[in-house]
Amino acid sequence: MIVLHNISGIGTKSGQTHNGNQFTQFFVDYAAEQLDGECAQCGVVIDMGWMNMECAGEEYCFEHVRECKYPDVCSPCERLAEAEIRST
């Protein structure tokens, strides 16, 4: 589970993980002949999701990314993410 903090943006959101990796939402533009992506975690084909700007543009589906409800990096979100990882 990837937890993003400091979410900003209206149409296209961006945020960062607790270790500083930057993520940006993406949407495939079929009119511009863009191709679908593939989730780096589960391998499902996606036409929207989150792109890791620090790791060669790895793409993730919405199932594997959560937005933090708090304004800054917070320990409650990190503990929740760790608990979800352990339960899978």
Report helix, strand or coil for 26: strand
In the predicted model, is pLDDT for residue 67 greater than 80?
yes
Q: Look up the domain containing 61 and give its range.
A: 2-87
Sorting pLDDT into bands at 50, 70 and 90, what band is 1? Answer: confident
Torsion over CA: 53, 16, 67, 2 (sign)? positive
Residue, of 74 and 28, whose pLDDT is higher:
28
- pTM of the predicted protein model: 0.76
- What is the tens place of the pLDDT at every residue in 14-43? 999 888 899 999 999 999 998 999 999 999
**How many domains, the chain?**
1
Number of C-beta neighbours around residue 16 at 10 A: 18
